Amino acid sequence: MTTRIACTFALAATLPIAAVFADDDPKDRRNEANSTCSGLPTSADLKTRLKEAPATGGDAGGLFGGARMWGAIVNRDGELCALATSTDDPKQVWPGSQAIAKSKAYTANAFSLDNLALSTARLYTLTQPGHSLWSLGQSNLFDTKYLNEPQVSNEGKNQIPGGLIFFGGGVALYKNGKVIGGLGISGDTSCADHEIAKRVRTLLGLNPTAGPATDDITYSAADGASVFTHPLCVNTWRNGVFIGNEKVAAGY
């Protein structure tokens, strides 16, 4: 009996300690008042700029002119801070683009620095087979439990979805010369996604110090070959100028 009572007291004594450690869980801290998103655009801000972007800077190209987009913003730690669609009905944007937008935001933030803005478009060639960053996509995999129902924009906030995407549509966000997060856009061709991402970032006033062109998408047809080159898409436009079309398939 004495031994049983002693064990009971010992267990009771450990419970407050366990509670302290449970309260110190980083995931719990991330949800406290969403403080880690301070200074970044809200989902409402993002939606407004997504709606405005197609009408600024000329034709965005692609299939829909940049009018059907998912947008996501992460902070410098990679935590989701904002999520929105350009359409009032989220189901009128490709459902698969939600995960892509989140991953693009994560990627652009993950590989940009204060003195190096690296858009997801500029990672395309480097991550192809035979190039120096091949297999990079096997790291930081996307966590599908952070996908939302289309009509819910704020669930998953302050979680880290991860995911790496190496085509156009992701750009880092800057304030006072410092990286503060990433923006991901998806819902059209990857080239149009980049055009809209670039415009949204400008509308938000969060460009790199060197300006929006410092991490702009490049094409060998217009700019010459480079390790930062991105392929052409269907109906490719850049900064209001038509660049060309994706090459057609041959042999099948």
Over residues 95-126, the pLDDT tens digits come to: 999 999 999 999 999 999 999 999 999 999 99
Q: Cα–chain-centroid distance for residue 239?
A: 21
In a domain, 173, yes or no: yes
- 198-217 pLDDT, tens per residue? 999 999 999 999 999 999 99
User: pLDDT-based confidence at 146, cuts 50/70/90?
Assistant: confident
CA distance 191 to 181: 21
For residue 136, pLDDT beyond 50: yes
CA distance 112 to 109: 5
Percent of the chain with pLDDT over 70: 83
Range of the domain at 223: 36-244
Considering only residues 2 and 74, tell me which one the structure prediction assigns the higher pLDDT: 74
Helix (H, G, I), strand (E, B) or coil at 157: coil
> CATH number of the domain that 113 lies in?
3.30.450.150
For residue 132, pLDDT beyond 90: no
In a domain, 10, yes or no: no
Residues with Cβ within 8 Å of residue 9, at least 6 apart in sequence:
none
CA distance 47 to 82: 9
Read off the tokens for 140.
């930081």
In a domain, 159, yes or no: yes
In a domain, 1, yes or no: no
For residue 16, pLDDT beyond 80: no
CA distance 198 to 72: 13
